[in-house]
Amino acid sequence: MQHLDKPYFLCLDEMNLARVEYYFSDILSSMETRKINDDEIITQKLLSKAQFGKDERAYDKYGDVYIPQNLYIIWNC
């Protein structure tokens, strides 16, 4: 998110050990709802404020985390 000019690759292996909807559904949902605005891919935030509970400090630090357009997710089933 801080270096949008560089590509980043997230490689996930052994993804067939459990059902994908149990551990990856929130990320897949976020990827499916992304939008293109002025040639930029925009995704929703990955975490809601409710997921942080009363930890305001953590929300301030991580509450705006999203999947940036320079992140490529690759998984091997």
Length of the chain: 77
What b/e readout covers 37-47, taking b as 16+ CB neighbours within 10 angstroms? eeeeeebeebe
Rounded to two decimals, the pTM is: 0.69
Q: What angle do CA 70, 75, 77 make, to 5 degrees?
A: 170
Pair 29, 50: CB distance under 8 Å: no
Q: Render pLDDT for 46-58 as a digit per residue (tens, 0 to 9).
A: 888 899 999 999 9
User: What is the per-residue pLDDT for 77?
Assistant: 63
Q: What is the pLDDT of residue 6?
A: 96
Q: According to the per-residue pLDDT averaged within each range, which of 17-21, 24-28, 55-59, 72-76 is highest?
A: 55-59
Q: Where are the beta strands (DSSP E) in the chain?
A: 8-12, 35-37, 40-42, 71-75
Contact 18, 25 (CB under 8 A): no
The mean of the pLDDT values for the chain is 85
